[in-house]
Chains A and B, each alone.
Chain A
Amino acid sequence: MLPPSTVEPGDAADPEGGGVRLEPYEVFRQEKEGDPMRHGGSVLAPDATLAVHYARELYGRRQESVRLWVVRRADIVELDDPDLLQPPLDRSFKKPGGYVMRDKLEAARDQAGTSKPRPTSTTNAAPSAKRQPGAKTQPRSTPDPDPTPEDGSP
């Protein structure tokens, strides 16, 4: 569950009880051009204009962002139904662990005449770091520890 999407007067966020209705806005930030937008945190604001001001101050004032997305939490479509996301039956057959994609990919690349993208630095060449440069801190998109390259997953 997302936290409540409004703050009522008299709540901790409105100590004056002045009747200003504050709403949470989620802030996504991009560290540099080309990076994915990542969730930075949230701000409370009475409207979108001030939410953008506050997002700028909390997630951009130290020049740590080149772009911010500010989204009213109430506008987010949420899915957290465990029946849909964490079904109880065995789902291992949906995971790509049984496939070895490397040889097939290489053959396909040879056929297409495109070479495998090279990692840009030696640290990225380690088997455990087969991710796009610049995405070092991003969690893997799948919890599967199988070292199959991500571009080979179904």
Chain B
Amino acid sequence: MTSGSHLLPATRNALALQLLAIADDEFVIGSSDSEWTGIAPILEEDVAMSSISQDEIGHARAFYELLAELVADGRDADAIAYDRPATGYYHARLLDHPRGDWAQTIARRYLYDTADAIRLEALAGSSWAPLAALVGKVRREERYHLMHATTWLERLAGADGEPRQRLLDALERLGPDAGTVLTPLPSETALLMADITSGSGAELESRWRAAIAPTFERLSLPLPPPTRSPESARSEHSTAFRELHEAFTSVRLIDPEAVW
């Protein structure tokens, strides 16, 4: 059913890379934001952020499962998620930043969720039915994530003094990497030709910048600058990510047979 046997090899490889990019993005932001469990600003927010992080891990699992069926190389979702060295992950550089303070987490969530929404929109009508079906479900959950991030972005931006300053600092750190979520994948031509996605990375990025501009303008926030080093948008990961990788692979290393 989900096997890509009817796909041309070039298309299948391109599709596999696209699935890996989304799955790794969701997996890394979910793992990173889950660090707030137990220490979020208030109990209710603790539950909310933990739940959102869990949602992201759930999305990652669904995309890893799709990938596992597509490539059918004997690895299951867990093997793909946990059995790679830190250098083998394919997430966007925006997610290489640590969760930082609350303002950085919110700023990153907002930048990521808005970009992810544009990416998913372009995949919703995918010619590869299993992907279109999964994206349809994921988008319904991401809608809430974006509501949550927007609510907080508005609060931090609208509060004078420290909250706004922390948000501005975070946007300055994250801004040059924000566009990496939509930086074109090397294989995107094959995806476009096969109608697996409806927009090139460049189109999606300009759509994303147009989508966030009104909010940034309303809140008097600086828009993210052009993407820094787009050629390494999904490689050369940071020390912060290596530490995160060490943490999320630790159980798997102790007991590879452990089940959920």
Contacts and interface: CB of A to CB of B under 8 A. Distances in A.
Interface of A: 13-14, 16, 22, 43-46, 49-50, 53-54, 56-58, 61
Interface magnitude class on chain B: 10 to 19
Most chain B CB within 10 A, of A13, A44, A54, is at A54
Contacts of A57: 44, 47-48, 51
7 nearest A-B residue pairs (beta carbon) = A54-B44, A57-B48, A57-B51, A57-B47, A61-B51, A43-B44, A49-B151
B156 to A, nearest CB: 12
Contact of A56 (B42, B43, B45, B144): B144
Contacts of B47: 54, 57-58
Summarize B's interface: helix, strand, loop or mixed. helix
19 contacts: A13-B42, A13-B43, A14-B42, A22-B42, A46-B155, A49-B151, A50-B44, A50-B151, A53-B147, A53-B148, A54-B45, A54-B47, A56-B144, A57-B44, A57-B47, A57-B48, A58-B44, A58-B47, A61-B51
Interface in B141-157: 144, 147-148, 151, 155
B42 A53 contact: no
A57 B148 CA distance: 11
Given A16-B41, A54-B48, A56-B144, 13 more contacts: A13-B42, A22-B42, A44-B43, A44-B44, A49-B151, A50-B44, A53-B48, A53-B148, A53-B151, A54-B44, A54-B45, A58-B47, A61-B51
B124 to A, nearest CB: 22
B120 to A, nearest CB: 21
Nearest to B151: A49
A55 to B, nearest CB: 9
Contacts of B43: 13, 44
A119 B211 CA distance: 55
B38 to A, nearest CB: 13
B213 to A, nearest CB: 23
A14 B44 CA distance: 12
Nearest to A55: B44
A96 to B, nearest CB: 44
A50 B155 CA distance: 10
Contacts of B44: 43-45, 50, 54, 57-58
B42 A44 contact: yes
A46 B150 CA distance: 15
A45 B47 CA distance: 13
Contacts of B151: 49-50, 53
Contacts of A49: 151
A51 to B, nearest CB: 9
B230 to A, nearest CB: 34
Contacts of A44: 42-44
Contacts of A58: 44, 47
A14 B151 CA distance: 20
